[in-house]
Chains A and B, each alone.
Chain A
Amino acid sequence: MTETLNYCTVVFDSLENGTLIIDENCIVWAWNKWLEINTGISSERIIGKNLEEFYPEVDYKGLQRKIRTTLRLSTPTFYDASLSNRFITIPRNKISSSLLNTMQLQVTISPYIPQMKRVMISIHDISDLHELKMTLQQKMAEIVRLNTILTQDRKRIEVLSITDPLTKLYNRQKFNEVLEMMLMRKHWSGENSFGMIIADVDYFKKVNDTYGHQVGDKVLIAVAQTLSQTIRTGDILARWGGEEFVVLVPDVNREKICFVAEKLRCAIEQMTISKIGTITASFGTSLFVHGDTDETLMYRSDLALYRAKKGGRNRVEFS
């Protein structure tokens, strides 16, 4: 009997986790070696005493309820004692750097001698796990942050790749892409086709030579804004290069495309630019016909623009 008891004591003290036996009034009946080492409280000091004398901060109402639950159910119950007042606080004496000052405890309350209202409480130090979780959460937050930046950057690059940096309109590359798609669509007919408008600012070289390139750029920005505000929803406006702008105009016939171009011409004519005053632009328009390619459509629009320039500028021509 004594030998068995000795074995039990040896086993109890050899456990690699904190184990204590306590009754429903929180009087300590056993306190193993692990607890002695990690709390600095010897079993001689604590056995027979109330746990509250050593750990007054613990929520004893909650703890006693958990002990009663275990005794009533006759099965172990578990809880995570991460909160400081849930169970005894044990300092974490780890030499290596640690995010936690006290141990994070996973507590299991098992029935010990139910008739004496005693339970065995096993505490497992899950600080490493908590630390890992915290590190993981930090890393996850960092990944989310970097991913957001990456998504924003990707969007910005995407926008930059299709935008003219000066006027913020679509660039030539994007315009060609859209034109190609429109050419591929089969449903265009004479009365319901699409057209192209090329606009060229009149005497732009003179503006640059007289007022300098900075003013020239301001003119281009102002023209872009005006064109942008005047085109219809669904029309595609882009900067072709230099002082030339292009517009793809879907669902039009000859009359309609000329009307759209005329509206754009009037809008430019009515603009007032500081230092310069007013400016004008010439417009060449063409309509898609069966068999057209990007080159043939562009050629006809260019031809119309040439005629507009030749005819005195500030006018719309169709070809």
Chain B
Amino acid sequence: MQESEFSADHLDVLKELMNIAMGNATASIADLLQAFGTMHIPYISVSDMNGLKSFIEETIPSNQHYYVTKQLFGGMFGGEFIFVMTDKSAANLGNYLYDITTPEEEDILDAVIELTNILSATIISRLTEELNIKVQFFVPSTEVMSGNALIGVEETLNYHKIIIVSTQMVFQSQNVSGYIFILTKGEMIERLRTLIDQKLEELYA
């Protein structure tokens, strides 16, 4: 698919839908985890892997260690949800959710996955609900890695043309923050464009 086929209008609609989805996510987290946070306005762009690499290099300092949780979702629309937290943030989250001063590695992993579950479910579910479709989530996996290892060789091969949706989530009281990336590619971009077109028709009908 040509980049030009995903027009500025499509990006605007997606940005609007993502804003709604992010709002939904912060509300759910406030409700479920009693943590009140904010999410930055999402950055959305159509790019290739080099573009994503440069974007990650600019956004995420490479000299730190991160808990990176990746979760695939599929159906009429599919992609990968990636949640990135510094190890300090992740430890603060583990401390908050499990009420342990020095959480163990497994506590931290569990807490990170728990937050990712909420984030992916609320953001993606709300986005797909707006697009009148349903998706299925797959088991997430978390790895601890350095910033510059965020995008592996395998992913470089998997993704060619991608849509990057990125935002930062901050829970000031708990000293927890993280970066969210939603990646989709190829045919899924085409489908997303069609779904947005349908949404636009629905809105202006």
Residues of A within 8 A of B (CB): 59, 62, 65-66, 68-69, 72-80, 82-83, 86, 106, 108
Contacts and interface: CB of A to CB of B under 8 A. Distances in A.
A59 B103 CA distance: 14
A59 to B, nearest CB: 8
Contacts of B109: 80
Contact of B28 (A66, A72, A76): A72
Contacts of B177: none
B97 A80 contact: no
B32 A75 contact: no
Interface of B: 28, 31-33, 97-98, 104, 106-107, 109-110, 113-114, 117-118, 121-122, 125, 137, 139-140
Nearest to B142: A80
A73 B21 CA distance: 13
A20 B172 CA distance: 38
6 contacts: A72-B31, A73-B122, A73-B125, A75-B121, A75-B125, A78-B117
A62 B118 contact: no
B136 to A, nearest CB: 9
A288 B161 CA distance: 62
A78 B28 contact: no
A124 to B, nearest CB: 9
A78 B139 contact: yes
Contacts of B31: 72
B107 A78 contact: no
In the A-B complex, the 9 residue pairs with the closest CB atoms: A77-B117, A83-B106, A75-B121, A73-B121, A78-B139, A69-B32, A79-B113, A75-B125, A78-B140
A66 B114 contact: yes
A75 B104 CA distance: 28
Contacts of B125: 73-75
Contacts of A106: 139
Given A62-B97, A62-B98, A78-B139, A69 B110 contact: no
Interface of A is mostly: mixed
B156 to A, nearest CB: 23
A89 to B, nearest CB: 14
B114 A82 contact: no
Contacts of B110: 62, 79-80, 83, 86
A79 B33 CA distance: 16
Given A69-B118, A108-B139, 4 more contacts: A65-B97, A65-B114, A73-B121, A77-B114
A80 B107 CA distance: 10
A12 B98 CA distance: 33
Contacts of B140: 78
B18 to A, nearest CB: 18
B114 A69 contact: yes
A77 B121 contact: yes
Contacts of A80: 109-110, 113
A68 B29 CA distance: 12
Contacts of A62: 97-98, 110
A65 B96 CA distance: 13
A119 to B, nearest CB: 13
Given A78-B140, A106-B139, A72 B106 contact: no
Nearest to A109: B117
B55 to A, nearest CB: 28
Contacts of A83: 104, 106-107, 110
Nearest to A84: B106
A106 B139 CA distance: 9
B118 A73 contact: yes
A100 B107 CA distance: 20
Contacts of B121: 73, 75, 77
A68 to B, nearest CB: 6
Contacts of B139: 78, 106, 108
A79 B5 CA distance: 39
Given A62-B97, A69-B114, A76 B137 contact: yes
Contact of B117 (A59, A68, A79, A86): A79
Nearest to B134: A75
Given A68-B32, A69-B32, A75 B114 contact: no
Contacts of A75: 121, 125, 137
Nearest to B138: A78
B106 A78 contact: no
Contacts of A59: 98
B94 to A, nearest CB: 11
